[in-house]
Amino acid sequence: MKNVISFIFFVAIISGCTNQPKRKELNSKTDAEQKTTLEYINRWNQIELAHTDAKYGEWGGDSDVITIYSDGKTLYANYSRYLGSTSPPMPPKENEEVKKWFEYKELDYKIDSIELDNRGIHLVENAILELVKQKIDNQTFISHSGIRNSVIARDSSLIIEDYPSGKWTTFQKLKDKLTVGNNGYDQ
């Protein structure tokens, strides 16, 4: 129930901004140079953006996870790619620390502590807004397979899960930026 209320509150905030000019996509250098901050992310709170493809049908697929966090001054991102499988994950061992669902998959690739510039911060913000829009426009139905997209805050005050979901374009741009470098913005 708490998650539903948080989601409704978040959508209400976004919907309440209709009197403001519509945000345009970042296409010029002047947009990228504008000062942007995500004050929600601080030393104590971080946001995790995750995308799982439908490579293996009802077993899911490969997962890309981007964690955005701060040291109090600068925003950083960690990127991880976990490989899906047609086999169910191994059960946790007795007295083993509980992991997130994707951490039971095989880790394929990981990059830590990528400093985000203003353009990267804009991509994070736009990825969250794009997923909210997808979620509220997506018809609810039961499915055993499909793409899964989510944004989850460490303190659970923000949870957006869209399943089955669609293409998450801004997330892919952010992923490309983190894995390819600055040229990833234009892909």
Reported as a single tens digit per residue, the pLDDT across 45-103 is 899 999 999 888 777 789 999 999 999 889 999 999 999 888 877 777 888 887 777 77
159-172 pLDDT tens trace: 999 988 888 999 99
Question: Higher-confidence residue: 106 or 68?
Answer: 68
What residues contact 58, with CB distance under 8 A and at least 6 apart?
144, 145
- Is the residue at 31 inside a domain? no
- Is the residue at 126 inside a domain? yes
- Is the residue at 186 inside a domain? no
Range of the domain at 151: 2-15+39-90+98-180
Distances (CA, A) of 98 to 64, 93, 94, 152: 20, 9, 10, 17
- Is the residue at 159 inside a domain? yes
Q: Please give the model's pTM, rounded to 2 decimal places.
A: 0.73
- Is the residue at 20 inside a domain? no
CA angle 28, 31, 25 (to 5 degrees): 75
Per-residue pLDDT band for 39 (boundaries 50, 70, 90) equals confident
When divided into structural domains, the chain yields a total of 1
- pLDDT of 154 higher than 80: yes
Q: List the beta bridge partners of residue 161.
A: 150
